[in-house]
Amino acid sequence: MEFRENEAIYSQVANFVTEHIMLGKWLPEQKIPSVRELASDLQVNPHTVVRAYEILQSREVISNKRGIGFFIHSDAIEKIRSFSKERFMGQDLPELLKNMYLLGITIEEIGAQFESYKKTMNQSKQI
Amino acid sequence: MIEIIDLSFGYSKKSTLLKKLNLKLEKGHIYGLLGKNGAGKSTLLKNIAGLAFPFEGKCMVNGKIAARRQPSFLQGLFFIPEEVHMPSLSTESFVARTAHFYPAFDRTYFYKLLSEFDVDREENLSKLSFGQQKKMMISFGLATNTSLLIMDEPTNGLDIPSKVQFRKVISSALSDERCIIISTHQVRDLDSLIDTLLVLHNKEIVVNLPLDVIGERLLFSSAGRANPDRILYAEDNMIGTNTISINTDEQYGKVDMELLFNAVVNGENLILQHLK
């Protein structure tokens, strides 16, 4: 895994997990890789994975069943969506708005693009 | 695990390489040791491994003085030097002659690692290429299951797939019962693997901190993202300026070990003060 320079590795590992859940690669109530397995797969220190799993536990995305492993909560997708939305509104949106303002991009231009993006996404889902 | 107390060392009495050095290392961590050429990294590692003897102070490993080289101390550690010298033996006979010094040696694991590293187990060890010899020693060192594993520049001579394999193997080899020390100049090879950074500079250890803690106190970013009033160190590159600044609003970024190292060896005391 190639890590970005501007984000702590543990938070990139947490995002890796949430992305797998959102994309349906890992399903609710399923067991996820152990700390050691994921550390080895991503070539990171096991402590980094422990920290990422702690964050995901505190956000109730995964839970630790003692002696068995980590499992995805049944409502993990809603949980991820709600805190991801919060992060988007708080961090990504202000940045986007600033660029739109600087470049003179109107909401209508973006709106048209977004509608056609949704269309392609829905089509690929049906296939 | 390791306790070094006021250790001084030099290859002659006139030139001290390490002076009143103190260091405490615990199990369950992968330590990355950085230092300039000639700063004494290998020398420090040799003092820990009982291969060099301090003229003042001492190094204790698991409660035993390293310089005494007791068998119970030696069987608990494995040291992989930067340059490995292989005897003219087959892998099989090397294992037969050496493995019994390490009570917890795991033969199955050793051969599994060899095949993961793509090392030909049938070839005479002295005939293997430098990189292959190195991978053979890394595999052997891991398979000894010693509580202390010391590697001096392990990724030197490793090709790109082997470096990936190395990171995978080391990250799964760490346990609560094991302490791994890696010295390196190839920071980018290992920056996701190391959890605690050690910097050897001016004959002593000036940094011994978990990367998490460094990331909480300092922000590594382009000049644009940093608060101009809080910049402690700046370095120009081709496309802009990289900075280290005081981290105030909990924006945890990735620790740029190369930048931090440059700042420390360039005498940026502000940075060290901020890490204390």
Fold annotation for A9-76: Arc Repressor Mutant, subunit A (1.10.10)
A-chain residues near B192 (CB < 8 A): 3, 9, 42-45, 48
pLDDT over 70 at A60, yes or no: yes
Site of tokens 């690669």: A25
Burial A13-28 (b: 16+ CB within 10 A, else e): bbbbbbeebeeeebee
Residue A31 is given by DSSP the state B
Provide φ and ψ at A71, rounded to 5°: -125, 150
Mean pLDDT of B196-222: 90
**For position B250, what pLDDT does the model report?**
65
A-chain residues near B257 (CB < 8 A): none
Contact A7 B174 (CB under 8 A): no
Q: Which residue of chain A is at minimal alpha-carbon distance from B191? A: A44
Contact B172 A5 (CB under 8 A): no
Mean pLDDT of B227-246: 84
Contact B252 A3 (CB under 8 A): no
More confident residue, A125 or B179: B179
Q: Per residue, what are the HEC states of chain B? A: CEEEEEEEECCCCCCCCEEEEEEEECCCEEEEEEECCCCCHHHHHHHHCCCCCCCEEEEEECCEEHHHCCHHHHCCEEEECCCCCCCCCEHHHHHHHHHHHCCCCCHHHHHHHHHHCCCCCCCEHHHCCHHHHHHHHHHHHHHCCCCEEEEECCCCCCCHHHHHHHHHHHHHHCCCCCEEEEECCCHHHHCCCCCEEEEEECCEEEEEEEHHHHHHHEEEEEHHHCCHHHEEEEEEECCEEEEEEECCCCCCCCCCHHHHHHHHHCCCHHHHHHHC
Contact B192 A44 (CB under 8 A): yes
Mean pLDDT of A2-24: 85
For chain A, the domains span: 9-76
Mean pLDDT of A18-46: 92
A-chain residues near B252 (CB < 8 A): 7-8, 11
Mean pLDDT of A17-31: 91
ipTM of model:
0.78
Fold annotation for B2-87+144-201: Rossmann fold (3.40.50)
Of the pLDDT bands very low, low, confident and very high (cuts 50, 70, 90), residue B30 is: very high
Of the pLDDT bands very low, low, confident and very high (cuts 50, 70, 90), residue A41 is: very high
User: Residue A93's CB: how many other CB atoms inside 10 A?
Assistant: 12
Query: Bridge-partner residues for B31, per DSSP?
Result: B181, B196
Chain A residues with at least one Cβ partner in B under 8 Å = 3-11, 36-37, 39-48, 51
pLDDT over 90 at A72, yes or no: yes
Contact map slice: B 18-57 vs A, CB within 8 A: 29-30
**For position B186, what pLDDT does the model report?**
86
Tally A–B CB contacts below 8 A: 60
Mean pLDDT of A20-47: 92
For chain B, the domains span: 2-87+144-201, 211-275
The string of pLDDT tens digits covering residues B57-89 is 999 999 999 999 999 999 999 999 999 999 999
Closest-CA distance, A92 to chain B, in angstroms, reads: 14
A-chain residues near B171 (CB < 8 A): 36, 39-40, 42-46
Mean pLDDT of A8-31: 90
* Percent composition of chain A: helix, strand, coil (DSSP 3-state, to 5): 65, 5, 30
**For position A125, what pLDDT does the model report?**
64
Contact map slice: B 83-102 vs A, CB within 8 A: none
Of the pLDDT bands very low, low, confident and very high (cuts 50, 70, 90), residue B128 is: very high
**For position A126, what pLDDT does the model report?**
62
A-chain residues near B174 (CB < 8 A): 39, 45-46
More confident residue, A116 or A91: A116
| Selection from B122-126, B137-141, B188-192, B250-254 with the highest mean pLDDT | B137-141
